[in-house]
């Protein structure tokens, strides 16, 4: 289908009053939750998934789009005003943004990050709209063995290639894969790892795992080291508006950040950390004001923020066209699709174009709403940041358990939530990355069924994996990506954890 016609059709879906309302609610909730310290976009989506149970799929996906972008805007506000990046992708923003806020230039820092995110988000969403149909045409020819190989690439790149330690990253991934085995095997109907507990037959819920690891784990971790740090909220002083000089210094970093963010996000390598740090170091090299870097340079906020948003839109390319999540946030979006029995991929573009293109169109709308909402409401978000820590974390835990209680009020499910919380705490303490667990859980069963389907078609001949040129190439890439961190030191600079 022609991209313009499809997009116009999607716009017609997205501007229906109810859908606009869903987008607005999503943007608002996403920002409000994302602005809380320690809560990144992945947890924001996980916490708000239960709220959308009762909506129709179209409306709730549009709401997700708003939550996704809103959560990211909220995260950068926190990074600038209290220097606690909720996710490692906001680390570069926190570096310069917090210095700007300390120097009384918090307003322009928030403004350049909001406008930069808008510019990057819009360009990247255009990229998504044009790249997706092309990739879909390509992906319809994929056999199950090609999908399996592609998932192997994603497994390796999210866990081993860019982490601090490939061993710890792979450990996280395999824990996720093991959790993914729990429940009834879809091909033979046999129960695996259920230990006779009926609640386990349905498998481990992705939301329970994510909320346990991210929310409960984070609360336990922050509580355990409360005596180390005192968070300080920087008041927003002076004008919110950017001066002419600020504009002049911001627009090029926005565009360069977008150019880093979108392609890297769209590759199945995942994570917004690499483009944000690339953008930061590029701006540092190109700036005419090198003396300001480290003391609050506006380029150091504009570039990484644009890269962050562009890469978030980029991760939607493999998610929507191939069903391949490459970040914890994308994994939560996939869980949102699965909640309605929808499987993203080439088929979804053919069968439910209204839904996919409505979602893409809503990304434009959500982005615009955020630009309009975020700056005038900055006073409200700052007030949310000022909630005393005891009530903040107590409230987060009540909200986190509420989602599980609403979805499945059973002792088994709540005990799993608590156990995953302890696991998240230990993983933070011993520096294991968390995103690979979530991706292993959600992608593991899909990879297994693709592999078994491929082997069933080939009558059990494993050579089928190497006979398809696509699959052989991808498996080769996965192997190289697995061995690279052991051979080349220094890839670990791009820390690949996200929460």
Partner 1 sequence: MSSEGAPGDRPAEPARHVDRAGLVIAAGLAALAAVLVWDASKLPATNMYGMGPEAMPVVIAVGLVLLAIGNLFDALRGKLPPRESMDAKPVWLILIGLALLIGIIGFGGGFILATSALFVTTSAAFGRRAVFADTAIALVMTTLIYLAFDKLLTLSLPAGPLERLL
Q: By the criterion CB under 8 A, which residues form the site for partner 1?
A: 50-51, 53-54, 164-165, 167-168, 170-171, 174-175, 177-178, 181, 185, 187-188, 190, 192-193, 216, 219-220, 223-228, 388-391, 393-395, 397-398, 401-402, 405-406, 409, 411, 414-415, 417-418, 421-422, 425-426, 429-431, 448, 451-452, 454-456, 458-460
Judged by beta carbon, residue 20 or residue 407, the one nearer partner 1 is 407
Nearest CA to 365 out of 49, 6, 11, 8 is that of 11
Judged by beta carbon, residue 256 or residue 428, the one nearer partner 1 is 428
Judged by beta carbon, residue 426 or residue 479, the one nearer partner 1 is 426
Structure-token pair, residue 336: 């949102």
Nearest CA to 452 out of 460, 463, 442, 443 is that of 460
Judged by beta carbon, residue 41 or residue 169, the one nearer partner 1 is 169
Structure-token pair, residue 117: 């995110």
Judged by beta carbon, residue 17 or residue 188, the one nearer partner 1 is 188
Torsion of CA 478, 204, 359, 52, to 10 degrees: -160
CB of 421 to partner 1, least distance (A): 7
CB of 99 to partner 1, least distance (A): 24
CA-to-CA separations, 337 to 316, 325, 348, in angstroms, rounded: 13, 12, 11
Judged by beta carbon, residue 115 or residue 152, the one nearer partner 1 is 152
128 with 314: CB under 8 angstroms? Answer: yes
Judged by beta carbon, residue 395 or residue 476, the one nearer partner 1 is 395
Residues whose CB is less than 8 angstroms from the CB of residue 249 and which lie 6 or more positions away in sequence, other chains included: 289, 298, 299, 302
CB of 397 to partner 1, least distance (A): 5
CB of 163 to partner 1, least distance (A): 12
CB of 420 to partner 1, least distance (A): 11
CB of 453 to partner 1, least distance (A): 8
312 with 319: CB under 8 angstroms? Answer: no
CB of 54 to partner 1, least distance (A): 6
CB of 427 to partner 1, least distance (A): 10
Other Cβ atoms less than 10 A from the Cβ of 252: the count is 14
| DSSP code string of 6-51 | HHHHHHHHHTSHHHHHHHHHHHHHHHHHHTSTT--HHHHHHHHTGG
CB of 79 to partner 1, least distance (A): 21
Rounded Cα distance between 83 and 8, Å, is 41
CA angle 181, 183, 185 (to 5 degrees): 75
Judged by beta carbon, residue 21 or residue 426, the one nearer partner 1 is 426
164 with 172: CB under 8 angstroms? Answer: no
Rounded Cα distance between 495 and 492, Å, is 6
Rounded Cα distance between 403 and 408, Å, is 9
Residues whose CB is less than 8 angstroms from the CB of residue 136 and which lie 6 or more positions away in sequence, other chains included: 321, 346, 349
Judged by beta carbon, residue 397 or residue 470, the one nearer partner 1 is 397
Question: Residues 22, 28, 31, 32: is their CA dihedral positive or negative?
Answer: negative
CB of 470 to partner 1, least distance (A): 20
Judged by beta carbon, residue 7 or residue 222, the one nearer partner 1 is 222
Nearest CA to 204 out of 167, 449, 195, 451 is that of 195
């Amino acid at each position: 289908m022609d991209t313009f016609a499809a997009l116009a059709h999607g716009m017609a879906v997205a501007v229906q009053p109810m859908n606009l309302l869903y987008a607005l609610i999503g943007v608002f909730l996403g920002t409000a939750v994302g602005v809380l310290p320690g809560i990144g976009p992945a947890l924001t989506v996980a916490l708000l998934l239960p709220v959308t149970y009762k909506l129709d799929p179209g409306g709730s996906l549009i709401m997700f789009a708003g939550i996704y972008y809103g959560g990211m805007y909220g995260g950068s506000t926190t990074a600038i005003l209290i220097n606690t990046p909720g996710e490692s992708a906001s680390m570069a923003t926190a570096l310069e943004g917090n210095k700007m806020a300390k120097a009384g230039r918090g307003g322009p820092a928030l403004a350049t990050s909001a406008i930069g995110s808008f510019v990057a988000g819009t360009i990247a969403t255009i990229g998504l709209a044009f790249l997706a149909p092309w990739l879909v045409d390509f992906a319809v020819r994929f056999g199950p063995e090609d999908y399996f190989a592609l998932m192997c690439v994603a497994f390796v790149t999210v866990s081993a290639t860019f982490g601090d330690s490939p061993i710890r990253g792979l450990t996280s991934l395999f824990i996720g894969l093991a959790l993914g085995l729990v429940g009834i095997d879809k091909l033979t109907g046999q129960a695996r790892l259920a230990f006779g507990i009926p609640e386990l037959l349905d498998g481990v819920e992705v939301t329970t795992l994510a909320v346990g690891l991210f929310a409960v784990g984070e609360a336990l971790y922050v509580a355990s080291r409360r005596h180390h740090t005192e968070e300080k909220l920087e008041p927003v002083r002076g004008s919110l508006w950017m001066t002419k000089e600020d504009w002049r210094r911001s627009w090029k970093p926005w565009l360069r950040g977008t150019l880093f963010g979108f392609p890297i996000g769209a590759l199945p390598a995942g994570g917004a950390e690499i483009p944000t740090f690339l953008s930061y170091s590029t701006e540092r090299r190109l700036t005419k004001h090198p003396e300001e870097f480290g003391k609050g340079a506006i380029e150091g906020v504009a570039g990484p923020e644009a890269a962050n948003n562009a890469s978030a839109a980029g991760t939607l390319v493999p998610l929507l066209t191939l069903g391949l999540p490459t970040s914890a946030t994308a994994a939560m979006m996939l869980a949102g699709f699965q909640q309605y029995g929808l499987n993203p991929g080439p088929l979804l573009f053919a069968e439910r174009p209204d839904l996919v293109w409505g979602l893409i169109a809503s990304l434009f709308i959500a982005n615009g709403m955020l630009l309009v909402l975020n700056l005038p409401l900055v006073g409200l978000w700052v007030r949310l940041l000022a909630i005393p820590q005891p009530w903040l974390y107590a409230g987060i835990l009540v909200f986190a358990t509420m989602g599980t209680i609403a979805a499945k009020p059973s002792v088994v499910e709540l005990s799993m939530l608590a156990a995953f919380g302890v696991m998240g705490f230990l993983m933070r303490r011993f520096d294991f990355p968390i995103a690979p667990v979530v991706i292993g859980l959600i992608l593991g069963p899909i990879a297994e069924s693709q592999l078994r389907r491929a082997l069933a078609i080939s009558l059990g001949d494993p050579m089928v994996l190497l006979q398809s040129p696509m699959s052989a190439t991808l498996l080769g890439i996965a192997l190289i990506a697995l061995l690279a961190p052991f051979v080349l030191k220094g890839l670990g600079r791009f820390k690949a954890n996200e929460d």
